[in-house]
A and B are shown apart, each in its own frame.
Chain A
Amino acid sequence: MTHLPPRFSDWFAARGWSLHPHQAEMLARAADPALLLIAPTGGGKTLAGFLPTLLDLAEGGHSGLHTLYVSPLKALAADIRRNLTTPVVEMGLPIRIEDRSGDTSYTQKRRQRADPPHILLTTPESLALLISYEDAPRIFAGLQRVIVDEIHALAESKRGDQLMLALSRLQTLAPGLRRVGLSATVEDPAAIARSLACAPAPCAILHADPGPEPDIAMLVTEERPPWAGGGARYAIPAVLDEVRRHRTTLIFHNTRAQAELFFHNLWLANDDDLPIGIHHGSLSREQREAVEAAMVAGQLRAIVCTGSLDLGIDWGDVDLVIQIGAPKNVKRLIQRIGRANHRYNAPSKALLVPANRFEVVECVAALEAARAHDLDGDPKGPGPRDVLCQHILIVACAGPFGADALYAEVRSVGAYATLDRADFDACLAFCATGGYALRAYDRWQRLVERDGLWHLRDPRAAQRIRMNIGTIQDTDTLKVRLRGSFKPLGEVEEAFAATLTPGDTFLIGGQIVRYEGLRELTVEVSRDRGRQPRIATFMGTKFATSTQLSARILRMFRQDDWPALPAHTAQWLAQQRAVSRLPEADRILVESFAHDGRAHSCFYGFAGRNAQQTLGLLLTQRMEALGLQPLGFVATDYATLVWGLEPLRDAAALFDADDLRAGFETWLAGNAVMKRTFRAAATIAGLIERNLPQARKSGRQATFSSDILYDTLMKYDPDHLMLRITREEAMRGLVDFGRIEEMLARSRGRIDHVTLDRVSPLAAPMLLEMGRVPIAGEGRERLMADVAAELMALAGIEVE
């Protein structure tokens, strides 16, 4: 057991605290080059991370920066600063603590560079900006420790890759630097440890006591869940009952739109006027901060929220977490449940509310997985090269660099440990000359090599590079504000705004507003007295059900009966088995039936929403070629339903893996999702600038030009680095072709094609699904011609 100096042990004793075992272990191993601590929320994780720093600094004598703390959220950095200040002030420690983010004032930032605090709390983007300055070597010279908080959240995105590249730079500037990662429960701690360590140095993993098992169940309601939809409106009375029975309830939703709708309906039913707030990423900062403050002050009984509350800010006395809609991912569920009951040794309590009949199955599968500690997650691919391109530019901003030294430094990052020299050189060439097959920019290249070192050709370029640091891709959003007011209500996606016509009503921030018009890239609205919005929803991130959870559902289907399921759902599955068959993991079930005068086919791939969507596009492309005249399709996490004019006779022919892959290649060329993937990569890599020095370029123009750049590259330089990156990215994310490959691998051509005389029980909910996709091609041209002719006739314009 490590002994604390008296000043610390007295302080602990005065509060009636003792050192947790994992805090002691972190202290004992403080000299390790890298350490990863896995601890549940509220387990004294932050203090465990900072104690060695506080002890180091307690005697004074260190000047300059000692410890850098990086978290994914600005708010978290500010929160931690407040929490750390308490022990520092109470023990009278000579330690200066400051945070730094996009919100920090210019003067404060200048001062921090000239005279860094002992502990600096920041975000990956602000750190990337710091290392781009010429004086970075001086700022970081005495740096001893870096603490990466919520590293599990960062590790899932390119922000984590950017951060680890920045740490490799810091390691060069401060060779004694030790790294600490703090993580929630994850499926593969070793992978996170590898990403944190300075390769090939090891990284020990410490586990805090996970505390008692959480108490999770499915919310049982009088009313049955509906067949389709995601609103879970049926459960509102039961949810209100639970809110009444608990002190503070967090009500999580998978999308912002669903959170808005649910909040609206909750208030319509909230006869006791319970104080309930809403919190999600599309709301204005003012609104979010107001809700956060009310929450901390204990003024709210419930908060309807999305992933924006996923990360570890301490919201106080939450004693119940309700998850509306199936948790698409067990790991995320566990992390959300951890938000309840921060007190040691009290179990977290959570309820799952399926939004529809299929989600009942998903919820039960997720409960089983959670109880079995079977967490899901996809192994991460190698370090993304668009992030590397940005890093090269950032390094160039700080001063001249040698290619060999930078390559060695980059290879010390876990995710880039296997990067080969040719790939590195391709990224460097892209940064220097654009990397085109046609050598066009010899006079204007961005980086030039002189005496073996790479320099910015024009040092003024540094300003533009710094303005575009970061890997977060904001979807193009427009601010929403009340007409005649300057206060924003929140944001909607540009694509949603484009569908609005004046008079349309929609929900934002829990109120119904009427669309009045677009003014200088702001959506102007007025208040509406109506009780039902006409347009229910704006878009939002949709998570796909994880591979592991899909597999578990398929395993459940093999059971003879389903005692764990509510009777209505078990009967539904039994009926499906009687009239058709249940989908199996090692086969693909296809059901064909006529409905509403159209031929329908339902393809049960269980590949997750994004991959099923991509599959829909590929299958309809093949069906069009076969003359089946598909008209449209809709995709869910488990199936794709296609309708058209001609019935499908031979389903197996559609699933030839080589044909699908070939189709994928052609389809890549013109697809809007691919173009969006390209735009993201090109923006991160610095081909397209999000922010310009003077006039801000609107998202609309950026959309336009990046599509043209994509088309031009596809035609004239198809092997260009940006297109290679785009193809790789398409295996994951929105296109998710990797999961189609996974589906083909497990089914290996075993197709069960069942022809039915009517809709099957499992396919029936698909007919009610939102988000139908019309088939592009000749159909769209015909549709456009029809609309145009109609408008001409309406306008009374005669054409000779």
Chain B
Amino acid sequence: MTGVMMSLAGRRLTALPSGALWDAGAATLCVSDLHLGKSDRIARRAGLMLPPYDSRATLDRLAEEVTRCDPRVVVCLGDSFDDLASADALDADCQASLLRLQAGRRWIWIEGNHDPGPVDLGGMHLRDWRDGALTYRHIAQAGESGEISGHYHPKFALPGVGGARPCFLHDARRIILPAFGAYTGGLSARAVELRALMGPGACAILTGRVALRVPLI
């Protein structure tokens, strides 16, 4: 596990290469924007039948991190489901996987713009969650600090070497997580919305085989 260490509100957090955030001190694992059921929603809405393995792939990757870290708390930072109907439509296999992951630990679903209501699956459902000086919420709010959020699916390309990869964004006030789900596109870390949120000295941490920190320039 070659993660990158970050400090936020006096806490030590690790950006994992998979795109998950690990707070070893609090044994809390956080992932954002799982978008479970995306292929189902696309079929329903657009009539396109994409390979229906995205939820399976996302949960398999999440299970790897849960097995490796063995967290006490798992926070899913919003947009965990592509919409509320796709939460209901999650197949039995995926439901069973989720149940296995939830066993013996605290599971927090944060509301996102895609899934703004409780789902019929285990776990606690919250608008946002405070853990000491840290606040977990879906969409970053200007002026906040100690904030951990998702929503934007940031990605970043190193000049001259390879294409864009999903990335964390980190500065003194906040961390924005990459999307953890399969079939999720991304927004360039250089986009105006993200530039407006991130302060001077901000870094991007690229996901991939190893996590890689670069200045956000």
Instruction: Identify the A interface with B (CB < 8 A).
Output: 433-434, 436, 438, 440-441, 443-446, 457-458, 461, 464, 498-499, 501, 687-689, 701, 704-705, 708-709, 712-713, 715-717, 720, 780-781, 783-785, 787-788, 791-792, 794-795, 797, 799-800
- B57 in contact with A795 (CB, 8 Å): no
B213 touches A788 (CB 8 A): yes
Cross-chain contact of A464 among B44, B47, B164 (Cβ < 8 A) = B47
B124 CB to closest chain A CB (Å) equals 29
Q: How far is the CA of A434 from the CA of B157 in the complex (A)?
A: 33
Kindly report which residue of chain B lies nearest to residue A495, judged by CB atoms: B163
Q: Which of B25-75 contact A (CB under 8 A)?
A: 39-40, 43-44, 46-54, 56-57
- Residues 73 to 113 of chain B near chain A (Cβ within 8 Å): 91
Contact A501 B51 (CB under 8 A): no
Q: How far is the CB of B115 from chain A (nearest CB, A)?
A: 20
> Quick check: A712 and B47 within 8 Å, CB to CB?
no
- Of A433, A701, A797, which one neighbours B215 at CB under 8 angstroms? A797
Chain A: minimal CB distance from B33 (Å): 14
Q: Contact residues of B with A, CB < 8 Å?
A: 5, 7, 39-40, 43-44, 46-54, 56-57, 91, 157-162, 164, 182-183, 185-186, 201, 203, 206, 209-210, 212-215, 217
Q: Are B52 and A441 in contact (CB under 8 A)?
A: yes
Across the interface, do A446 and B5 meet the contact criterion of CB distance under 8 Å? no
Q: Are A783 and B43 in contact (CB under 8 A)?
A: no
For A781, give its contact among B91, B186, B201, B209 (CB under 8 Å): B209
- How distant is B40 from chain A, measured CB to nearest CB, in Å? 7
15 A-B pairs besides A441-B43, A464-B47 with CB distance below 8 A are A434-B49, A434-B51, A438-B52, A441-B52, A445-B49, A458-B47, A461-B47, A499-B160, A688-B48, A704-B164, A709-B51, A713-B51, A788-B213, A797-B215, A800-B7
B interface SS class = loop
**B17 CB to closest chain A CB, in angstroms?**
11
Nearest CB of A to B59, in Å: 12
Which residue of B is nearest A445, CB measured? B49
Residue contacts A-B, CB under 8 angstroms, 21 given: A433-B49, A436-B51, A436-B52, A438-B52, A444-B40, A444-B44, A444-B47, A444-B49, A687-B49, A705-B185, A716-B56, A780-B161, A784-B162, A784-B206, A787-B159, A787-B161, A788-B206, A788-B213, A788-B214, A791-B158, A797-B201
Provided the pairs A461-B47, A712-B182, A788-B213 are in contact, do residues A434 and B52 lie with their beta carbons within 8 angstroms?
Answer: yes
- A781 (CB) vs chain B CBs: closest residue: B209
Given contacts A436-B51, A717-B51, A781-B210, contact A797 B203 (CB under 8 A): yes
Given the contacts A438-B53, A441-B49, A445-B49, A788 and B212 also touching, CB distance less than 8 Å? yes
Chain A neighbourhood of B57, CB < 8 A: 712, 715-716
**In whole angstroms, how far apart are the Cα atoms of A436 and B50 in the complex?**
9
Q: Identify which of A443, A688, A713, A797 gathers the most chain B CB atoms within 10 Å of its CB.
A: A797
Q: A458 to B48: give the CA distance in the assembly, Å.
A: 12
A708 close to B49 (CB less than 8 A): no
A733 CB to nearest chain B CB (Å): 22
> CA separation between A705 and B159, bound complex, in Å?
21
C-alpha gap A499/B157 in the complex (Å): 11
Q: How far, in Å, is A344 (CB) from chain B's closest CB? A: 54
Query: Which chain A residues lie closer than 8 Å to B49 at the CB level?
Result: 433-434, 436, 440-441, 444-446, 687
